[in-house]
Amino acid sequence: MLSLALCLAFALISAMHFYWAFGGRAGLSAAIPEVDGRKLFQPSAAGTAIIAVMLAAAAAAIALHGGRFFPEIGWLARVLKWGLLALGAGMLLRGIGEFRYVGLFKRVKGSRFARNDTRFYSPLCLMLAAGLFYLAW
């Protein structure tokens, strides 16, 4: 059940990034950090597509791990375990943040992104990290 939930979460987040990469605008303004009403960066379509592919690959790795959805292959199981641990570490670091604009310990807190990051994005990253660590271990 955990594998399915994690796989679906990464697939949905990947789909959102593909939507943005191909020109979609809904929700995009709430997904980019801002200071004084100005976005800190403007993500490129190519960069957003790369993130979408990486998130889709994470969903695929979760689906392949442990033989839950597909037959397990010996050496691939070890690669997937370490890959999921690395992904979990990445999600943990994203949830904690860089102490300025993103994460639970950010200092810039007045923007729409900052509020959403505190309420949704960072806790989701921490929950995904916990699930990935549990699944990989």
Give the Cα separation of 122 and 117 in Å (integer).
Answer: 5
Q: Which pTM value belongs to this model?
A: 0.91
Tell me: pLDDT of 87 over 90.
Answer: yes
pLDDT per position as a tens digit, 24-60: 999 998 999 999 889 999 999 999 999 999 999 999 9
pLDDT for 73: 76
pLDDT for 137: 87
What are the boundaries of each domain within the chain?
2-23+43-136
Which of 51-60, 63-72, 124-133 has the least mean pLDDT? 63-72
